[in-house]
Amino acid sequence: MKFYLDTANLEQIEEVASWGVLAGVTTNPSLYAKEGGKLADFENHLKKIATMVDGPISGEVTAETADEMFEQGKKIAAIAPNMIVKVPMTVEGLKACKKLYDAGIDVNMTLVFSVPQAILAAQSGARYISPLVGRFDDNGQDGLEQLHNIIFAIDNYEFDHDVEIIAASIRSVNHVTQAALMGADIATIPYAILKKCVKHILTDQGLESFKRDWEKVTSA
């Protein structure tokens, strides 16, 4: 499973990129607004991210009609070769996804919450499909069960293009674990959760005991 960072924060991206395991970045309008992003700086901000990480960088359209999404998507794709266009799972989003697919532009279909939505996204040409796990949980549903259903359903079929599932809206290390166990292709993870993925109490305890014992060696 590939690890993406779900953020528009340049410092977080720079740090995790230095780890050598960052496979991509996903952003959305809320994450850009959280960084105090201004409309005039949006494309330049995405360009900075695209130069910091070699992998796919998702920039989301904000228009509401297919034609306007298509125009915005072409501008986002033109920012850098590794830019991916994020499109919402709506009727207009399906139309825009098909137009972008036909134009050779990769789409990440987001705000996907059901098996039918996921299949429609794949059939419209989406290269990536993003079920938002945490938002199910926010509404009293089992997000991991929905993710599993979507992965299973998509795996049942062949499409005329590659389709990868991005487990999104990750709220815990367990979400990452379960997404990997069920075969999600990618997890896009907030910085705080990704840092927790590196750590384990037994790792810390083991390292401490190695250090204590090695001090016996060096002081012998």
CB of 133 to ligand G3P, least distance (A): 8
Q: Which residues are catalytic?
A: 86
Q: Is residue 146 at the binding interface for ligand G3P, with CB under 6 A as the rule?
A: no
CB of 169 to ligand G3P, least distance (A): 3
**Number of residues in contact with ligand G3P, rule: CB under 6 A?**
11
Q: Is residue 12 at the binding interface for ligand G3P, with CB under 6 A as the rule?
A: no
Measure the CA–CA gap between 67 and 69, rounded to whole angstroms: 5
Within its chain, how far is the Cα of 175 from the centroid? Answer: 13
Tokens for 143, please give them. 């997000």
Type of residue numbered 60:
E
Nearer to ligand G3P, 110 or 124 (CB): 110
Which runs of consecutive H residues, i.e. helices, occur in 7-82?
A: 10-19, 29-34, 42-52, 66-79
Q: Is residue 100 at the binding interface for ligand G3P, with CB under 6 A as the rule?
A: no
Measure the CA–CA gap between 102 and 119, rounded to whole angstroms: 18
Residues 106 to 145: which contact ligand G3P by CB under 6 A?
110, 130, 132, 134-135
Measure the CA–CA gap between 104 and 79, rounded to whole angstroms: 15
Q: Is residue 7 at the binding interface for ligand G3P, with CB under 6 A as the rule?
A: no
**Residue 31 CA neighbour count, 13 Å, CB half:** 22
CB of 215 to ligand G3P, least distance (A): 43
Please report where in the chains the tokens 């139309």 appear, as a residue: 95
CB of 190 to ligand G3P, least distance (A): 7
Residue nearest ligand G3P by beta-carbon distance: 169
Q: Is residue 184 at the binding interface for ligand G3P, with CB under 6 A as the rule?
A: no
Measure the CA–CA gap between 27 and 34, rounded to whole angstroms: 11
By CB under 6 A, name the binding residues for ligand G3P: 6, 26, 28, 110, 130, 132, 134-135, 168-169, 188
